[in-house]
């Protein structure tokens, strides 16, 4: 209409593309212009550069030609477990609470909820709140749960006097709540049943108006979960029905065979007991599995293994008998218990960046190795496969592309102060805020993605990028690469840097080191 106020502006989005848009009173028309000039073209570019879930991603440049020794954790690194295991852990720990700690019988009605929690969440022990925190210690509103129900944002802000969690009450270096730290971070995959059980017990007490001490509840659940492992209940159950609980064994076997064929040295350091590991590795590899490894260490007690110099190695017989002789060398075919990394380094000479160690626990498996000893580290993140598949869907691509477009429009046009322009920008801000919950729910209805809050990286992502040189969905991703391959992290521009190169995968969705069959994308 000739009576409508016109104002012309420019915004640079996606490399050198320039989008011309017109401020009119009709926000729908402006959005249509955005789609017409930009959106559909960008969608096709991003879709064509979808991410391969079998890619290995790099935080730090690393070449496999420099790696001579490969080390592995066992659980969720060589042995991958089915969802039945989490149900088993939950049920046993729940029953321990009722039987040993005299918790109400009504708790037995609660079942494990596989889709409830995600790894990397923080738990406020004193307030009995489960939440997701970003890399800057800010709580992601909408992800704070008391029991099985969300806490209103206003209540969260009132309790914490905002959204920021001070450093002094955050979890300690290993994610534990100790020495005044009131937050516990759940970092390993085995913690999913623990988070769910905590939430279920909290839910029961609140539903029945039972007064309870949150600190006691946390400690009791922690002890019940520990008993499932330490007392061997879980181990015996898995050994009795190995095919029900272990999956993808042939892929781990293929990786070990490939490394052995290339003459690489290999070792295993796990916290699990020998009988359990032996039963699992017999299933995954065969009875000769020990022939593949130069050193096997069980019940290592990580992360203490990497720091405590006092514990010597002790040899274990095939029957599980502990021998008392002093260990002067670590021999192939033998099984060793406990020990410490300093003695391991002295006896093997395997030091520095020629060693690559894989594990699923960012703190217990990887942190000390990269910070104190200079080993290269690889994180196994099974959740990657599911999240990447979601990221590759048209729904997610459309949603994130429009969200980024809105953000760019708001950033560029907020300088216009006339009433009409301000009204339009306010509409865009409201639409952007309304979209945020959808970017969370598409991954997990309660807590969203393991790797991001609405926009910032999660606290989990921050630790992953610091302690892991590379990360991948499973150890089988190594099968896609030869031993001359170099993994390069993307050179993502810092906030003050210009973007000189189009990133792999355009809008930040591309892989940092695609599998060789996909390198035409780079």
Which residues are the active-site residues? 73, 75
Return the CA Rg of the chain.
26
- 52 assigned ligand-binding residue: no
CA dist 522 and 519 (Å) reads 5
Task: List Cβ neighbours of 332 (8 Å cut-off, separation of 6 or more).
Answer: 290, 291, 293, 294, 295
CA dist 365 and 348 (Å) reads 19
- 73 assigned ligand-binding residue: yes
- The answer to whether the peptide bond before residue 303 is cis (omega within 30 degrees of 0) is yes
Q: What is the DSSP letter of 517?
A: G
286-293 long-range CB contacts below 8 Å, 24 or more apart?
Answer: 286/253, 290/332, 290/333, 290/335, 291/332, 291/333, 292/256, 292/257, 292/260, 292/266, 293/266, 293/267, 293/268, 293/332
CA dist 261 and 301 (Å) reads 31
Q: How many other C-beta atoms lie within 10 A of the C-beta of residue 166?
A: 9
292 with 253: CB under 8 angstroms? Answer: no
CA dist 165 and 163 (Å) reads 7
Helix/strand number for the chain, H first, E second: 16, 20
CA dist 315 and 212 (Å) reads 46
CA dist 241 and 80 (Å) reads 14
Task: List Cβ neighbours of 472 (8 Å cut-off, separation of 6 or more).
Answer: 54, 55, 56, 57, 378, 379, 380, 381, 384, 478
CA dist 291 and 256 (Å) reads 11
- 360 assigned ligand-binding residue: yes
The greatest distance separating any two alpha carbons of the chain, rounded to the nearest whole angstrom, comes to 95
In this structure, what is the dihedral angle of CA atoms 514, 517, 521, 522, given to the nearest 10 degrees? 60
Could you give the 3-state DSSP secondary structure of residue 207? helix
Location of structure tokens 């969720």: 76
CA dist 67 and 220 (Å) reads 44
CA dist 371 and 257 (Å) reads 30
The β-bridge partners of 336 are 297, 315
Residue list for the binding site: 73, 75, 360
Residue list for the binding site for Mg(2+): 73, 360
């Amino acid at each position: 209409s000739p009576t409508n106020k016109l104002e012309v502006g420019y915004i640079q989005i996606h490399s050198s593309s320039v989008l011309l848009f017109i401020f009119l009173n009709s926000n729908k028309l402006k959005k249509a212009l955005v789609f017409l000039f930009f959106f559909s073209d960008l969608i096709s570019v991003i879709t064509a550069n979808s991410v391969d879930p079998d890619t290995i991603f790099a935080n730090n440049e690393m070449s496999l030609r420099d790696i001579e020794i490969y080390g592995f954790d066992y659980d969720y690194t060589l042995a991958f477990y089915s969802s039945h295991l989490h149900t088993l852990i939950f049920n046993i720990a729940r029953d321990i609470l009722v039987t040993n700690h005299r918790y109400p019988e009504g708790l037995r009605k609660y079942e494990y909820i596989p889709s409830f929690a995600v790894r990397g969440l923080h738990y406020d022990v004193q307030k009995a709140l489960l939440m997701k925190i970003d890399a800057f210690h800010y709580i992601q509103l909408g992800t704070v749960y008391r029991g099985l129900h969300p806490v209103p944002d206003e209540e969260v802000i009132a309790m914490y006097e905002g959204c920021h969690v001070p450093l002094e009450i955050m979890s300690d270096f290993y994610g534990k709540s100790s020495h005044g730290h009131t937050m516990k971070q759940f970092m390993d995959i085995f913690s999913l049943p623990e988070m769910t059980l905590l939430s279920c017990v909290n839910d029961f007490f609140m539903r029945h108006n039972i007064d309870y001490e949150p600190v006691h509840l946390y400690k009791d659940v922690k002890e019940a979960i520990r008993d499932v492992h330490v007392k061997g209940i879980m181990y015996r159950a898995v050994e009795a029905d190995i095919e029900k609980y272990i999956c993808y064994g042939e892929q781990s076997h293929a990786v070990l065979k490939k490394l052995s064929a290339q003459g690489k040295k290999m070792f295993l350091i796990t916290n699990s007991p020998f009988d359990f590991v032996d039963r699992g590795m017999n299933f995954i590899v065969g009875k000769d599995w020990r022939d593949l490894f130069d050193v096997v260490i069980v019940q290592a007690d990580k992360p203490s293994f990497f720091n405590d110099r006092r514990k010597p190695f002790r040899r274990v017989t095939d029957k599980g008998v502990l021998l008392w002789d002093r260990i002067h060398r670590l021999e192939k075919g033998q099984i060793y218990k406990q020990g410490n990394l300093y003695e391991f380094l002295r006896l093997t000479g395997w030091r520095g960046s020629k060693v690559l160690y894989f594990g699923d626990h960012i703190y217990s498996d990887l942190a000390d190795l990269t910070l104190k000893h200079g080993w290269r580290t690889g994180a196994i993140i099974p959740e990657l496969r599911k999240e990447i598949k979601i990221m590759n869907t048209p729904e997610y691509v459309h949603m994130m592309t429009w969200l980024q477009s809105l953000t760019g429009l708001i950033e560029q046009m907020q300088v216009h102060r006339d009433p009409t322009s301000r009204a339009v920008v306010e509409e865009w801000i409201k639409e952007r805020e309304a979209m945020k919950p959808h970017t969370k729910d598409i991954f997990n209805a309660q807590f969203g993605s393991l790797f991001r809050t609405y926009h910032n990286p999660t606290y989990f992502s921050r630790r992953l990028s610091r302690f892991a040189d590379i990360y991948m969905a499973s150890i089988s991703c190594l099968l896609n690469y030869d031993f001359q391959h170099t993994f390069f992290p993307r050179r993502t521009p810092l906030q003050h840097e210009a973007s000189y190169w189009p990133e792999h995968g355009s809008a930040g969705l591309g892989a940092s080191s695609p599998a060789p069959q996909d390198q035409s994308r780079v």
